[in-house]
Amino acid sequence: MNLIYLDNAATTSIDPEVIKVMQASMEHNFGNPSSTHQFGRKAKAVVETARKNIAHHFNVTASEIVFTAGGTEADNLILYNAVAHLGVQRIISTKIEHHAVSHTIAHLKNKYSIAVVHVNVDEFGTVDLVHLEALLSSTTKKTLVSLMFINNEIGNILPADAVCFLCKKHNALFHSDTVQVVGHYPLDLQKTSIDFMVASAHKFHGPKGVGFAFFRKGFGIMPMFHGGDQERGARSSTENVHAILGMETALDIAVRGMENDKIKLLKLKDYFISELLKLYPNIQFNGHSADVDKGTYTILNVRFPFDNDMLLFSLDLAGIAVSGGSACQSGSNSGSHVLQEILKDSASNNTSIRFSFSKDTTQQDIDTTLLKLKGLL
C-alpha cells in the first residue's frame, strides 16, 4: 500500500538536507554552548549564527529571537510575560485560537485575575474588526490582543496589518500565533508591526521540539524556567544546538522555495476542490479554506453532507493520513472547538476533514485520495 500524507498542518516530514546538517552537528559539534572552552565556544558560535540568520528572514535583530522547544512554549512565554512582567490587565482574543493560546489565557485569568474578552467572529471564522476596535476603545486597562495569523484548522488568514493599526491606535500590544505562517508566507516585522510572534520548526520541514519566540526590542523578558542564564536569561536550559541548526536550514530552504511551493500547491488545491465538488456537489468548505485570498494554500477543511464517524478511520486504513481538526484534538471525543464555534448545530454535526498540503504533496496523492473517497462515500 502506498501511504499518502495530507496532514501537514499537524507536522511535516524533515527535509533530507536538514537531516544532513543535524547529523553533521551531532558528529562534530557536541560542546555545551555555555562552556568557555573551545568546544563550547564553537557550539555557541553556531547557535548565534543561526539566530542571526533566522532573524534576518523577518527583518529583525538577533537579540529579538528567543529559542524555545516549540510554538506552545513560545506562546506561553509571551503571554506569561505580558501579564506577569509587562503589566497587561486585559487580553482580547477569540474562541477559535489554538489551545496553546486559549488554555494559557484561561490559566493566566485564574492566576492573575486579568480580564479576558472575546472578539466576535462570523460563520466563516473571520474576526470582526469593528467589534475589535470597540473592545479596544472601551477600557483604559493595559491590553494585549492575541489573534492567530493563520488558523490551523480552517486556514483563515488574519488581516494582520489592520489589526496592527488598531492596536497602535489604541496603545495595545499585539501577539500572534504565527506557527502556520512561518516558512509559508513572507513576514517582514518592520512592515507588519506585531509585537510578539512564534514559530515551530516541524511545521516547515524542520525537526520537532524546537522553535522560537519573537519579542520586539524594548520588552524585557522574565523567564518561566529557572536554573541558568541561557538565551540571555530569557530561558534556562541548555540550547538544543542540533535542532536549532536544523531549524535554521529548514527555514532557509522554505524561504528560497516559498513562491514555487505556493504556485504548485495552489494548483493542486484548486484541482482538489473542483474534483471534490464533482464527487459530491453538496460538499461545503469550512472557514475560508477554499478562498485563495482569505485562506492559506496549505489547508482545505471539507464538510461532507452527512455524519460518518468512521470516515477518518477508514481513510487511515486506506493509507491516507488526514485530520478531523488540529492534531492536538484528533483523539478527542469533544470534536473541533473551532467548528463548534462557527457552525450551526446541524452543520457542525456533519463530518469534517482537514486536508493539509506541503511541497511533498503530488498530483498522484490527490488523485488517489479522490479515488479512495469515491469508494468510501
Top pLDDT among 85 and 333 is at 85
Shared domain check, 286 and 151 = no
pLDDT in tens, 167-223: 999 999 999 999 999 999 999 999 999 999 999 999 999 999 999 999 999 898 988
What cell numbers appear for 207 in the block?
Answer: 525537526
The percent of residues above 90 in pLDDT, for the chain, comes to 87
Shared domain check, 191 and 103 = yes
Q: Which of 191, 226, 252 is the last residue of a domain?
A: 252
Question: The CATH number of the domain where 367 resides is what?
Answer: 3.90.1150.10
Q: Taking 50 as the threshold, does the pLDDT of residue 328 lie above it? A: no
Confidence (pTM)? 0.95
CA 324 – CA 331 distance, rounded (Å): 9
Q: How confident is the model at residue 346 (pLDDT cuts 50, 70, 90)?
A: confident
Query: Is 328 among the catalytic positions?
Result: yes
pLDDT computed for residue 42 by the predictor: 96
Shared domain check, 143 and 20 = yes
pLDDT in tens, 65-77: 999 999 999 999 9
- The angle at the Cα of 117, spanning 161 to 155, to the nearest 5 degrees, equals 45
Domain count of the chain? 2
For residue 64, the one-letter residue type is E
pLDDT computed for residue 344 by the predictor: 84
Question: The CATH number of the domain where 78 resides is what?
Answer: 3.40.640.10
Selecting among 19, 283, 328, 370, the annotated active-site residue is 328
Q: Which of 227, 252, 277 is the last residue of a domain?
A: 252
Q: Taking 70 as the threshold, does the pLDDT of residue 140 lie above it? A: yes
Q: How confident is the model at residue 325 (pLDDT cuts 50, 70, 90)?
A: low
Q: Which of 213, 229, 252 is the last residue of a domain?
A: 252
pLDDT computed for residue 23 by the predictor: 98
Shared domain check, 263 and 246 = no
Q: Taking 60 as the threshold, does the pLDDT of residue 330 lie above it? A: no
Q: Say if residues 316 and 304 touch (Cβ distance below 8 Å).
A: no
Q: How confident is the model at residue 348 (pLDDT cuts 50, 70, 90)?
A: confident
pLDDT computed for residue 333 by the predictor: 53
Nearest to 223 by CA among 376, 70, 85: 85
pLDDT computed for residue 319 by the predictor: 96
The pLDDT of 302-323, averaged and rounded, is 93
The pLDDT of 110-132, averaged and rounded, is 97
Question: Which range marks the domain in which residue 210 is found?
Answer: 16-252
Top pLDDT among 239 and 335 is at 239
Shared domain check, 160 and 66 = yes
Cell 489592520 appears where?
162
